[in-house]
Structure 1
């Protein structure tokens, strides 16, 4: 039998923090995954409508690119689960969290692009022309600002010591 080495309070705290970070990340991904999977199903179902048979090249091209964005988003937003499962109990939780965070951000970028493509696609089919394109531009601005620009601006205002670990939790001041 091996010797049991007591875990210091700092290491225990580190493990709890990592577990909390992973749980928070997985909860956030569940929200995004549901949305992108519903969107993906909607985009696939469009091809089976009578109206799609008469769609022009622009609509078909926009549809295909949008489906590819949605598929990339599904792949990236679901990737953390298999990473966690495959590396389970290997002492790699910190690595899983780091990679999963990158996948989550990239997956959200592709989800935003898929949403913009969907709005553009629907705008083109419903009203067409510059109004349809304007709706796509509006969606791009909305998602870009709310999901990326504003949070990145707020992140730039942080006064957290850059050398310390980012636990992803709320700071108590």
Structure 2
């Protein structure tokens, strides 16, 4: 191990630059997934306006639709912002900062996409079934995203930590 290398929490032996490069690549992979979902939902929303039944939307549904189009635009901007950030700071030895800000932008993008997905589901259910069902769908979407994105990872991290402790204890006993 050289003086520039360090071992992180995952047991990786890498320099700070190598860690920043790896983290940046992981952020880019996550952004690709989020951007694909955003593009599909945005395309759906754009196509809806050109459907014959679009004129049947009531005031609430039209307002919700416009809010969702705005959220789709925000999600697109958030998904592209890390790329712009990287381009601006490219070659300036600021990779760690780019990773930090890119990670925050990715989280903001994910929250926006979650609200967007729940809202689109709500709009569709509201239009096809009714207002109360649309609100229920919105609530279920909120609970689903909160559970999958906040609670499940925390539970998994707790169990992972317990397994690590057990592994470390057995290794120490040997």
TM class by smaller structure: 0.7 to 0.9
Aligned to 1:149: 151
Query: Residues 155 and 106 (structure 1 numbering): CA distance in 2 closer, same or farther, change over 3 Å?
Result: farther
CA drift of 1:132 comes to 2.2
Counterpart CA distance in 1 for 2:125 and 2:59 is 15
> Where do 5+ consecutive residues of structure 1 fail to align?
1-6, 160-171
Higher helix share: 2
Query: Residues 71 and 156 (structure 1 numbering): CA distance in 2 closer, same or farther, change over 3 Å?
Result: farther
Counterpart CA distance in 1 for 2:50 and 2:156 is 44
Instruction: For residue 79 of structure 1, give the secondary structure of its aligned residue in structure 2.
Output: helix
Instruction: For residue 91 of structure 1, give the secondary structure of its aligned residue in structure 2.
Output: coil
Counterpart CA distance in 1 for 2:157 and 2:49 is 41
Looking at both structures, which has the greater relative contact order when contacts are Cα pairs under 8 Å and sequence separation is at least 6? Answer: 1
Match of 2:37 among 35, 57, 69: 35
Aligned to 1:168: none
Normalising by structure 2, report the TM-score: 0.81
Aligned to 1:10: 5
Aligned to 2:106: 104
Counterpart CA distance in 2 for 1:158 and 1:93 is 29
RMSD value, Cα: 2.2
Counterpart CA distance in 1 for 2:55 and 2:111 is 30
Counterpart CA distance in 2 for 1:93 and 1:82 is 13
CA drift of 1:50 comes to 1.1
Q: Is the 8 A contact 2:42 2:69 kept in 1?
A: yes
Instruction: For residue 15 of structure 2, give the secondary structure of its aligned residue in structure 1.
Output: helix
Alignment partner of 1:133 is 2:128: no
Aligned residues between the structures: 155
Match of 1:122 among 113, 121, 124: 124
CA drift of 1:28 comes to 0.9
**What is the CA deviation profile of residues 54-104 of structure 1, one whole-angstrom value per residue up to 9, with x for unaligned ones?**
210011011111111221111112211111111101000001000000000
CA drift of 1:9 comes to 3.5
Q: Is the 8 A contact 1:123 1:136 kept in 2?
A: no
Query: Residues 145 and 123 (structure 1 numbering): CA distance in 2 closer, same or farther, change over 3 Å?
Result: same
Aligned to 1:77: 79
Aligned to 1:164: none
Mapping for residues 47-58 of structure 1, pairs under 5 Å = 47-58=49-60
